């Protein structure tokens, strides 16, 4: 079906716009991408690919008419230029072209800035016409208060300011789970309630090798693929692949191969 005929056949339905990530396989999982002006939480163990996923989302936007901002609380901008260059992505060139800006700040300063009239972030959004932001990472917000309720309200206010500025947000958050049964976030403040979508990255041990798994645990206001999929990071970035076939207990980190009789019984239903 052509794009035109698709539009004609669905003309009576509201067109739900999507914000594609440009990550092979992930957009299919998300039925086209994130919803505009939403906050999307990417949680996972150290080194599993959260920042890479976020950078890829920002880069795709920058190259497709949706300029982006990377707001970092932990790494110097230099680190992003270097990490991006390892995938062949020239973030300095995108900055020079005015479609990307990497800024380093603290959660306290960024929050106060967003609450002030005509703050730096708001001016930057207007100047480059930003539509996307990567906040790397939310983990740093957790130092702002010991009180989970207060923390939630701080993060809620912060995310709303970003959404109000017209941005679609990716937030990363470190989880201490490497392999194991725990699925829920580990800290007292459960930010997944505040996010419009919640994607978890996991390490999985299969036949004595560590592989990477991705699952969309929630997506407010939209259907999404709930399969647990394998993904890899190679020299061109993140690639989401097929669901894990014939395995059970993926989220436990140490899945078992399902017996053929079990699979047959399941398929024959």
Residues facing residue 232 across a β-bridge: 239
- Selection from ligand ATP, Mg ion, none that 47 binds (CB < 5 to 8 A by kind) is ligand ATP
Q: Which CB sits closer to ligand ATP, 34 or 89? A: 89
- Output the six-digit token pair for 82: 């270097």
Instruction: Name the minimum Å distance from CB 34 to ligand ATP.
Output: 18
Choosing from 41, 48, 84, 219, the residue that interacts with ligand ATP (CB under 6 A) is: 48
Q: Which of 21, 38, 40, 52 binds ligand ATP (CB under 6 A)?
A: 52
How many residues touch ligand ATP under the rule CB under 6 A: the total is 14
Which range touches ligand ATP (CB under 6 A), out of 39-47, 161-169, 189-197, 242-250?
Answer: 39-47
- At its nearest, how many Å lie between ligand ATP and the CB of residue 198? 15
Subset of 219-238 contacting ligand ATP (CB under 6 A): 233-235
Q: Which stretch binds ligand ATP (CB under 6 A): 50-58, 118-126, 191-199, 216-224?
A: 50-58
86 touches ligand ATP by CB under 6 A: yes
Give whichever of 100 and 125 is closer to ligand ATP, judged by the CB atom: 100
The secondary structure of residue 165, as a DSSP letter, is T
Segment 210-217 long-range contacts (CB within 8 Å, at least 24 positions apart):
212/48, 212/49, 213/244, 213/250, 214/26, 214/29, 214/240, 215/251, 216/29, 216/30, 217/183, 217/192
Cα–Cα distance, 216 to 37 (Å, whole number): 18
Does position 85 bind ligand ATP by CB under 6 A? no
Long-range contacts for 242-249 (Cβ within 8 Å, ≥24 apart)? 244/204, 244/206, 244/213, 247/206
Q: What values do phi and psi take at 245, rounded to 5?
A: -95, 140
CB of 211 to ligand ATP, least distance (A): 12
């Amino acid at each position: 079906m052509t794009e035109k005929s698709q539009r004609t056949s669905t003309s009576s339905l509201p067109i739900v716009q999507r914000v594609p990530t440009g990550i092979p396989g992930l957009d299919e999982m998300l039925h086209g991408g994130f919803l505009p002006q939403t906050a999307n939480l990417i949680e996972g163990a150290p080194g599993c690919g959260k920042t890479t996923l976020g950078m890829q989302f920002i880069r795709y936007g920058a190259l497709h008419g949706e300029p982006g901002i990377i707001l970092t609380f932990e790494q110097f901008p230099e680190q992003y230029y270097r990490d991006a260059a390892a995938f062949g992505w020239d973030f300095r060139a995108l900055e020079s072209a005015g479609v990307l800006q990497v800024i380093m700040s603290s959660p306290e300063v960024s929050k106060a800035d967003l609450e002030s009239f005509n703050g730096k972030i708001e001016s930057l959004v207007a100047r480059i016409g930003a539509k996307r932001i990567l906040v790397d990472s939310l983990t740093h917000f957790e130092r702002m208060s010991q009180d989970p309720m207060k923390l939630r309200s701080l993060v809620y206010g912060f995310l709303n300011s970003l959404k109000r500025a017209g941005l679609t947000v990716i937030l990363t958050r470190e989880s201490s789970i490497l392999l194991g049964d725990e699925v829920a976030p580990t800290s007292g403040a459960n930010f997944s309630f505040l996010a419009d979508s919640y994607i978890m990255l996991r390490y999985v041990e299969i036949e004595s090798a560590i592989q990477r798994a991705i699952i969309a645990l929630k997506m407010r206001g939209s259907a999404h693929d709930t399969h647990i999929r394998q993904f890899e990071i190679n020299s061109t970035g993140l690639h989401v692949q097929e669901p894990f076939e014939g395995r059970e207990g993926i989220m436990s980190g140490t899945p078992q191969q399902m017996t053929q009789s079990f699979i047959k019984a399941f398929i024959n239903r």
